[in-house]
Amino acid sequence: MELRNIISIDELNKEQILKIIESTIYFKEVLERDLKKVPALRGKTVVNLFYEPSTRTRTSFEIAAKRLSADVLNFAPSTSSLKKGETELDTIKTILAMKADLAVIRHKDSGFVKYISDNINIPVINGGDGRHSHPTQALLDLFTIYEHFKSMDKIEIAIVGDMLNSRVARSDILLFKQMGFSVFTVCPSMLLPEDMSYFGTENFNSIDDVIERCDVIYMLRMQFERQNRKLYPSVREYNRFFSLDISRFKKMKKGSILMHPGPVNRGIEIDGRILDMEEENMERIKISEQVSNGVAVRMSLLHYLLSQQ
């Protein structure tokens, strides 16, 4: 089946996912060459439409496009004519009239990327929409796990942190479930959606309940400032039940890995000293590896969508 857009994980089937993972292996190899560039998308133009501030994801897409020899146009809404009476769709159509071939869109509202993609006729990649979806993050996470374990069998993963506000968690859970992983959440009651049956995950009340059994410990960014009414009591209570400290890090299962979508809040979800040990613990701490893999996965996706045409 032809894949036109990457909007959310539920639209991908297993075969497509495996195809993306497979080509990511190739593009990762490209990135390790001396000359990190292939002419695959020469003459194509990728436009980055980021309505929400982002450095990491936007840069990652930009590098990915450039490694494939595409031209990149970065569009930031604050410098646009958004406030001059144009609708968001008008603005986008104006930019597309300049003959862009693919749009990467990030927006604070869930569903915005789908709305735009329904109204324009070029492929769209979701760079993150509201609390809904962040499919490229999920795919790079899956690739990182696959690369480490060399398999996708019997993986147990615990996702720790704020499920309510996290698009990363939603996309990860759906993708991992589709690949047959056992996925657990570890989340305080006030940050857990009322009904998680769509995701089919079991929730635990403390990271101590999962730290010794899981193959992957996936820590989410805990954004105290994003919380509605600041419901969670305190950082130290969070540290006690949900954070990764040195002693918990040492309890992690043999051969297991630590992941985080970045940027880490040092001292909140992860003890800063663990991050400082990353270089000596490359086999366990995969946070930088996730960033590297992000470029390869995005190259793979850009290539997948644009080479079909």
Contacting positions for another protein (CB under 8 A) = 188-190, 205, 229-234, 236-237, 240-241
Nearest CB to another protein, comparing residues 234 and 288: 234
Q: Which residue type sits at 69?
A: S
- Nearest distance, CB of residue 231 and another protein, angstroms: 5
Torsion of CA 268, 9, 300, 256, to 10 degrees: 40
Distances (CA, A) of 7 to 26, 82, 223: 23, 23, 24
Helices 287-306 and 56-67: angle between axes, nearest 10 degrees: 50
- Nearest distance, CB of residue 62 and another protein, angstroms: 41
The 8 Å CB, 24+ separation contacts for 247-250 are: 248/207, 248/208, 248/211, 249/274
Among candidate residues 95, 94, 30, 91, the one with its CA nearest the CA of residue 66: 30
Nearest CB to another protein, comparing residues 127 and 188: 188
Nearest CB to another protein, comparing residues 55 and 189: 189
- Nearest distance, CB of residue 220 and another protein, angstroms: 17
Nearest CB to another protein, comparing residues 10 and 208: 208
CA angle at 229 for the pair 224 and 234, rounded to the nearest 5° = 45
Cα 283 from Cα 70, distance rounded (Å): 33
Residue 36, phi then psi, degrees to nearest 5: -90, 55
- Nearest distance, CB of residue 251 and another protein, angstroms: 19
- Nearest distance, CB of residue 134 and another protein, angstroms: 26
Nearest CB to another protein, comparing residues 12 and 187: 187
Cα 157 from Cα 174, distance rounded (Å): 12
Question: Helix and strand tally (H, E) in the chain?
Answer: 10, 9
Indicate if the alpha-carbon torsion angle 99, 101, 107, 112 is positive or negative: positive
Nearest CB to another protein, comparing residues 164 and 258: 164
Token pair in block for residue 109 = 């509202």
Nearest CB to another protein, comparing residues 90 and 237: 237
**Chain-centre distance of CA 17, in angstroms?**
15
- Nearest distance, CB of residue 176 and another protein, angstroms: 24
- Nearest distance, CB of residue 190 and another protein, angstroms: 5
Nearest CB to another protein, comparing residues 38 and 235: 235
- Nearest distance, CB of residue 236 and another protein, angstroms: 7
Nearest CB to another protein, comparing residues 31 and 190: 190
Cα 238 from Cα 187, distance rounded (Å): 10
- Nearest distance, CB of residue 30 and another protein, angstroms: 47
Token pair in block for residue 197 = 């049956």
